[in-house]
């Protein structure tokens, strides 16, 4: 049995008829940008997340960049201000801060939960701190009441990077609606994935929403009139139409992921393999299923030899990347341990329980 890490082809095939009809509708309409498809998807996604505004943009990195930039345009953030962010995240969360000339303050995660350690945030707050960016990494909810309280107490903006956690919940709210604004990526492999690059910002703040919509459209709110020096960062109509189809199936897809995850949690039983703390299903939409092994590279090769494809998320932490040379000397032990030991097992809405059983069988024999 060969088990791929993720078969995008099979995921698309699952909804092919609906996707085909949506794409055909757009192609035949002759209207490819800033039209009805964007409007429909934006309304439906805003409703799904539970907020008033959704602005479709070109990708998830831009979504985060625009949030920080809009707060600068509105006079809330200034060059040199500090934003607290988890040290173990995909580079995009941090790029969105540095691209805007703000300073990321890297805070360690906990090893068992993998999300930002909320007991280590307060000591990093200074007079320059203007916001906290939480990242719902791997599909796990990173929000805590403590983080919400710190934002209130110190008047900090709470930005969510919801690239990996579409559909995840905290209580009766969805991630992406817990802070002041959230960036979403619809990169094809995400839980809600387009057939190319796509992203969105969600917020309840009308001023922020209008500013972001302008920034992503050359800085313009009125044709040929430019209020900001923006960029072309729009979501196209074909991707919006595809996303609207897939949004209807998102909860069902997440349930498939949760079933696979439950099977892994209940059946992986090998002292050499550590699993992260199991959250309640509502709080984890299992974008990825990370496990940890001291001999990670050997374990990965063993799985490969047995037909199981895995990936590492991520092999090099942001502070050890060449693009952030100034941080290369810093030691962040928990982040580095995660990066040295992490391996992501196959998980997706099209992975079968038989395939999951094979993954477990092979792992338990390691």
Ligand X SMILES: Cc1ncc(COP(=O)(O)O)c(C=O)c1O
Q: Closest separation between CB of residue 287 and ligand X, Å?
A: 8
- Residues with Cβ < 8 Å from 20, sequence gap 6 or more? none
Q: Which tokens is 44 given?
A: 């439906």
State the Cα–Cα distance between residues 70 and 65, nearest whole angstrom.
Answer: 9
Nearest approach, Cβ of residue 273 and ligand X (Å): 24
Cis amide linkage into residue 314, ω under 30° from 0? yes
CB of 58 to ligand X, least distance (A): 8
- By C-beta, is 60 or 346 nearer to ligand X? 60
Residue pair 127/351 in contact (Cβ under 8 Å)? The answer is no
- How near is the Cβ of 45 to ligand X at its closest, in Å? 15
Q: Which is nearer to ligand X, 55 or 363 (CB)?
A: 55
**Which own/partner contact pairs does 316-325 have at CB distance under 8 Å and 24+ positions apart?**
317/87, 317/88, 318/87, 318/89, 318/91, 318/94, 318/106, 319/87, 319/106, 321/91, 323/91, 324/94, 324/98
State the minimum distance, in angstroms, from the CB of residue 75 to ligand X. Answer: 26
Cβ-based nearer residue to ligand X, 104 or 199: 199
- Which residues on adjacent β-strands are paired with residue 286? none
Q: Which residue is nearest to ligand X (CB)?
A: 60
Asked if residues 155 and 107 have their Cβ atoms less than 8 Å apart, the reply is: no
Contact residues toward ligand X (CB under 6 A) are: 59-61, 89-90, 92-93, 135, 161, 163-164, 185, 187, 197, 199
- Decide the pairing of beta strands 181-185 and 157-161: parallel
Smallest gap, in angstroms, from Cβ of residue 59 to ligand X? 4
DSSP string of 323-359, one letter each residue: GGGGGTT---HHHHHHHHHEEEEP--TT--HHHHHHH
The secondary structure of 195-234, three-state, reads CCCCEEEEECCHHHHHHHHHHCECCEEECCEECCCCCECE
Structure tokens, 81: 């201000």
Smallest gap from Cβ 92 to ligand X, in A, equals 3
- What gap in Å lies between CA 273 and CA 195, rounded to an integer? 34
Least CB distance to ligand X at residue 29 (A):
25
């Amino acid at each position: 049995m060969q088990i791929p890490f993720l078969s995008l082809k099979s995921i698309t095939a699952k909804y092919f008829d609906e996707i085909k009809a949506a794409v055909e509708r757009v192609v035949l309409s002759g209207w490819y940008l800033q039209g009805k498809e964007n409007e429909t998807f934006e309304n439906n996604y805003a409703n799904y997340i539970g907020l008033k505004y959704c602005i479709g943009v070109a990708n998830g990195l831009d979504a985060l960049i625009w949030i920080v930039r809009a707060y600068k345009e509105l006079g809330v953030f200034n060059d040199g201000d500090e934003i607290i962010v988890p040290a173990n995240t995909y580079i995009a969360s941090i790029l969105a801060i540095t691209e805007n000339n703000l300073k990321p303050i890297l805070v360690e995660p906990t090893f068992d939960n993998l999300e930002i350690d909320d007991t280590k945030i307060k000591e990093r707050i200074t007079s320059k701190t203007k916001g906290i960016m939480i990242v719902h990494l791997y599909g796990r909810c990173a929000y805590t009441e403590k983080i919400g309280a710190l934002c209130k107490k110190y008047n900090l903006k709470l930005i969510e990077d919801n690239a990996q956690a579409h559909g995840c919940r905290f209580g009766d709210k969805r991630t992406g609606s817990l802070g002041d604004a959230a960036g979403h990526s619809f990169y094809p492999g995400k839980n809600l994935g387009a057939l190319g690059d796509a992203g969105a910002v969600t917020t309840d703040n009308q001023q922020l929403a209008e500013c972001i919509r302008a920034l992503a459209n050359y800085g313009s709110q009125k044709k040929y009139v430019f209020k900001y020096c923006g960029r072309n960062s729009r979501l196209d109509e074909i991707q919006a139409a595809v996303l609207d189809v897939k949004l209807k199936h998102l909860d069902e897809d997440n349930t498939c992921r949760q079933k696979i995850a439950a099977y892994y949690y209940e059946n992986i039983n090998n002292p050499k393999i550590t699993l992260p703390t199991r959250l309640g299903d509502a709080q984890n939409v299992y974008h990825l299923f990370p496990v940890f092994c001291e001999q990670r590279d050997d374990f990965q090769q063993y799985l490969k030899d047995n037909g199981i494809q895995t990936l590492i998320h991520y092999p090099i932490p942001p502070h050890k990347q060449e693009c952030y040379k100034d941080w290369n000397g810093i030691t962040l032990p928990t982040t580095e341990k995660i990066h040295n030991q992490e391996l992501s097992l196959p998980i997706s809405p099209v992975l079968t329980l038989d395939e999951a059983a094979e993954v477990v069988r092979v792992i338990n024999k390691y």
